[in-house]
Structure 1
Amino acid sequence: MFKRTPDNDDSTRTGLSVIQAGQIHLRTLILVRWVAAAGQTATLVVVNFGLEFDLPLLPCLGAVFALALSNLILMGRGRGRRRMTEREAVLLLGFDVIQLSVLLYLTGGLANPFVILIIAPAMVSATILSRGATIGLIVLAMVCISLLGSYHLPLPWSGWPIELEPTYLLAIWTALAVAVVFIATYVWSVSEEGRRMSEALAATQASLAREQRVSALGGLAAAAAHELGSPLATITVVANELSQEVPKDSPIAEDVQLLLSQSERCREIITGLAQTPEASATAPFARLPFSALIETARAPYSVEGIEVSVLVEEDAVGEEPYLPYGPEMVHGLGNLIQNAVQFADRHVRLKLYWTDETIRLTVQDDGPGFAPSVLSAIGEPYISTRAGSGENLGLGIFIANTLLQRTEADLRFSNRDGAKVEISWSRAILDNSATEGERL
């Protein structure tokens, strides 16, 4: 499950909103419980006075009053708070199950057509709470359903009381038990997938933001190098003049030589900063040759014992293309290369191919390959992609897929003597993006 943040913090440290299990908006739960209290009151009034069924009205209204009173207490204690903890939500939903069970006990038990509502708190839990909390509420609901099958007041009815056959009551109990278990399980699975998707998207955005900050630092370094170049040149000229005027046996001769050597060192550092590749990445649609871009993406993932080779396929047509050099491209390709290096036995091949219409990169390793059972689902978060791997969550592949799709890339995953990933771009789309960037 996901870590809970303090009540006054509705976002992650990166500023990205994440759906979190175990937390619920206090206002939402209060509103839902007021609706439940109003609905129960309206039903009792209509059935007792409109349909003229003889209900134990005072005890029933007492149960509704208990629900309303608990809501008032919740409003008072929760003033100034936006969220509830999981423990608080479980206690309130458990109270709602018991309160509704009391109403059903007073109005016919399982024979009451409104008995289906007893599964509602478990559905709410399946949507927002953890698996353990949901299981606890399911068990509580099933216990209450079982007790209502044996212990309840007669169903209010005009004329002779209705006596339902035990077999029919057992069928109702079975239907409710199956509904509360399977519907809650399905709802929880869908909600959990949504939470995982939200977390994975947040991780993608955080990775992209981090890469953009690195690129911005590169641009800042280049600007600083440009600004420092002029005063450093002046210092170097003055130091050279001093070295010519100061005799070699002078006590300050060594200091002058030290000044010269350090100014030269500063010049080398500033030159390096000005040539940092990240500096050019801050410009929109900055472009690099295809092979240079791949070399840049693979550079951080060199591992001893794993050979990573970059090859241009023999049937490549025309001049080598230029691709956008940006965080989406570098980080997306880097994640795929890192995944290949991580699972390769000895080598990873990066094959480059291009024509007048298509640009393609093939990343192939000699490892165990992708698990056949999830091959069609690769690219989704939290899918373990590698055969025999119990720890890989597939988040790196998901991030790479998401980032590269922003560059209009098409990814295909397959197995051929290991894992194989083909990333292809339409050359026309990349050329159009470059033209638009130049116009900007």
Structure 2
Amino acid sequence: MPGSSANSFLRSLCMLRWLAIAGQAATVLVASELLDLDLPLGPLWSGIGVLVTFNLYASVQVHRRRSEASNGTAFAHLLVDIVVLTWMLGWSGGIHNPFGLMFLILIALAALALPRGWALAAAMACLIGYLLSGLIGRPLEGHHNPYALIVSGIAASFLISAMVVLYFSTRLAADLRSRERELAALRERFTRNEGIVALATHAAAMAHELNTPLATMTLLADEIAAEVKTDDLRADVALLGQLLALCRERIRNLAVPTEVDLVREVSQWRLVRPTIDLHRTGELPTALRVEPAISHLIQALLNNAADAGEAAGHPRVDLHLEYCDGALDGEVRDHGGGFDPDHSLLPTTSLFNSDKPSGLGVGLALSHATVEQLGGKMTMAPADGGGTRIRFHLPLAYLATRGTGTTL
């Protein structure tokens, strides 16, 4: 349904149908009581009653519906309005009734909201209904000036038609703009995900290629450690061995993803960035194991925060992690120069597009994609005193944890 969903169309029909019921009831009362027209009140009120009953049923069904309604269902609802309008016109003047123009409203609604085939079917049903009302209808009697009555009815029909078309077309235009924004976001997300898949494929290939040279470097580091004599060199070689072990562990995890110890992963980050002053708060279970993607998320945020702080001359990062009620809440705060408030939105789609001279442009984009994939939330805001705060909330109810809480 172009510009609107079938459910939105049905909701609009229900709202417009209540207005039509009120208008029909008022018209019957005015024509019979004030204008003294000879109208068959029984058939007319029965038609209004049928429309009230059907609209109650339609309103309940629309609010209870969880899936998208079909175009056939929308056409069937519109067909009920056509049949009732035919019935009402047939008992109140037929083709001589100026409110026969209401068929044009139903055709316009179908053309705006239904596909071409269903819109043509609705137009054909309206044409048949108009012809039937003309065949079975009888002229209105009891009014001293039939011409003035018809002119008044045409004017009222025009005003009603103008208001209905304006309301419905405005609502459909708003739905169309909303749908276009959703499609644009989906297209951008698809483009980003394509880039992530390509990056993951390349990372897997590089992990396979780097495994051998890292093993050789580890052996060389062990040999050097056996030959060094001074304590300073021995400490440096020990640090080199830890870094090589960390690299090999990361590469093995790329090839065969396994859950990782989050507390240990956070502690190991200091080996990678020893010049950064890391302030950690919050409590985590001592053996909290999470998906590798969560570890990559935290490391990417820490690296971005460290880069921002170093660029501003404040190499400090504040990290808060808390596991509570089956969810991981975290915050990473840097002490850099902050960001432009006019561009404060997270880069949900920009991949390989970095503001840093030596950046690859994948950190925040991959982080946001990870949070999105895990069903979490991520926000970015300026920090008091300068810098940026990035908060995230990840549901981890599926994880089984062991041990007692430990302060980071």
Q: Could you tell me the TM-score, scaled by structure 2's length? A: 0.43
Q: Could you tell me the TM-score, scaled by structure 1's length? A: 0.40
